[in-house]
A = this chain, B = another copy of it.
């Protein structure tokens, strides 16, 4: 039986430490750990990487601490448009949704697109309707709204009205959650889900629902989920570029992800990060911002999570 591994991120737009109380940071870490444990329980019992990444992302979507599902960023119109995707490295099957408004867990909708439609990507109200017909949880759009996002949007709009030239902080710009996993059969999978960013234009689609941009998995190579300014991930085809550097260029996972995050994406002056796992269970989580909510469980079965530089052990999986 081969190694198993899971890694997750909760976005490279981590708040500065002093912008949130310790109780909130602790809850953030607990939710990261819960996400990892949900995936690990599946992997440990011989389950599929695909199921593990979906389970991990569902936990993060349901947490208010991350910009996906409940707690998602608000558009310029003050509502939510959610994007997600999932990819099965065993078959290169993939599914995604963009600009959905009423599905509690967009990653489940992405999975349904992959398995229950002939499409890879469905957009807008048709995606909501597809998810509803598949029996997924339907919620009103304001289910996703939290006080923190309402305040952040109001502050951004107030600054814009005053003409204050203060660029949006990384925390305001770069949410997104994602997971990558390797199962006992050697299959890799990746999933990503996001609310975009505060004050995003209605109809804007980022990298998270796009195969090759924000999400990619291929058995024998790697699984990748990205976070950061999605437009640059799209232009760089960043998630697939990690795999291409390994497949065609002979790079290791560490070399490939470092080149993508610290050279290619960084060269555009944007915040960027990702989590990735390779076919041997190696895990990396590079980012170029102040912090990135993240965590993993690898060979030693310890649960490790972090929001800034240091990683904290949260006990055994």
A residues apposed to B, CB below 8 Å: 87, 92-94, 98-99, 117-127, 129-130, 201-206, 210-213, 216, 230-231, 234-237, 240-241, 244-245, 247-249
20 contacts between A and B (CB under 8 A): A93-B235, A94-B234, A98-B123, A118-B201, A119-B205, A123-B203, A124-B124, A125-B203, A126-B201, A127-B203, A130-B203, A210-B210, A212-B234, A237-B240, A241-B244, A244-B244, A244-B248, A245-B248, A248-B248, A249-B249
A216 touching B203 in the complex, CB below 8 Å, given contacts A99-B123, A244-B248, A249-B248 = no
Cβ contacts under 8 Å, A206 to chain B: 120-121
**Which of B93, B120, B216, B231 contacts A118, CB < 8 Å?**
B231
Q: Is the CB of A120 within 8 A of B211?
A: no
Given contacts A121-B204, A212-B212, 17 further A-B contacts (CB under 8 A): A94-B234, A94-B235, A98-B123, A98-B205, A119-B205, A119-B231, A120-B230, A120-B231, A122-B204, A123-B124, A123-B205, A129-B203, A210-B212, A212-B237, A237-B240, A244-B248, A247-B248
Residues in B with CB closer than 8 Å to A241 are 240, 244
A142 to nearest B CB, angstroms? 20
Task: Give the docked Cα–Cα distance between A211 and B213 (Å).
Answer: 8
Contacts of A248 in B (CB 8 A): 244-245, 247-249
Residue of B nearest to A212 (CB): B237
Q: How far is the CB of A199 from chain B (nearest CB, A)?
A: 11
Instruction: Check A119 against B204 for contact (C-beta < 8 Å).
Output: yes
- CA–CA, A62 to B216, complex, Å? 36
